[in-house]
């Protein structure tokens, strides 16, 4: 899959123009978007139902697979409120993966994570990026250079550079 964005603009109610005619072509895999700063099993099951996975057996299999993939299986009976920041991030990814999407957008996904959780989460995103388009929106340059094969830099609501992080 490839995502094409043409002339995307966004102006907030207070008049701030966040995006001004942004156009990008984003290939399958991890794509970095750099710019300045400006659960439990039952919860996952509920989201699966909301995303249209109605069959109970199919839903159970999907939830179990995602709990394993996001390394949350051991915490499956724990209340979501007791999850650490990293666990909440991984739970969010599990919810996003329900229904096999072709596009996932994550905004500042490693903010507030300790180094171990950060690495675990980045590994998970990299694994997911092998099959779908993942847009990583962040101000952390290292996250983009470590994970993304392509990127864009946005400043003042406009794309000021595109290419590979090594460039």
Is the CB of residue 104 less than 8 Å from the CB of residue 135?
A: yes
Give the mean pLDDT of the chain: 77
55 pLDDT band (50/70/90 cuts)?
A: low
Alpha carbons within 13 angstroms on the beta-carbon side of residue 16 total 5
**Measured CA distances, 65 to 36, 48, 74, 135 (Å):** 36, 12, 13, 23
> In the chain, which ranges are continuous DSSP H helix?
41-50, 56-69, 85-97, 115-128, 141-147
Task: Enter the pTM of the model.
Answer: 0.68
CA dihedral of 163, 32, 24, 105, whole degrees rounded to 10 = 170
Tell me what the mean pLDDT of segment 139-160 comes to. Answer: 84
Please, what sign has the CA dihedral across residues 153, 129, 101, 72?
A: negative
Percent of the chain whose predicted confidence (pLDDT) is above 70: 87
48 pLDDT band (50/70/90 cuts)?
A: low
Q: For residue 97, which of 57, 136, 44 has the smallest C-alpha distance?
A: 44
């Amino acid at each position: 899959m490839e995502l094409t964005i043409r002339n995307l603009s966004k102006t907030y109610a207070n008049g701030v123009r966040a995006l001004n005619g942004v156009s990008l072509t984003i290939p399958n895999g991890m794509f970095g978007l750099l710019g300045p700063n400006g659960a439990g099993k039952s919860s996952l099951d509920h989201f699966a139902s909301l995303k249209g996975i109605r069959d109970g057996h199919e839903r159970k299999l999907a939830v179990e697979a995602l709990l394993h993939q996001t390394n949350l299986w051991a915490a499956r009976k724990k209340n979501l409120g007791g999850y650490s920041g990293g666990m909440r991030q991984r739970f969010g990814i599990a919810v996003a993966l329900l229904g096999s999407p072709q596009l996932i957008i994550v905004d500042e996904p490693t903010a507030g994570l300790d180094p171990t959780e950060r690495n675990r989460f980045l590994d998970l995103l990299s694994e997911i990026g092998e099959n779908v388009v993942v847009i990583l929106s962040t101000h952390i340059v290292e996250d983009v250079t470590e994970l993304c094969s392509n990127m864009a830099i946005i400043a003042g609501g406009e794309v000021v550079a595109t290419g590979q992080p090594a460039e």
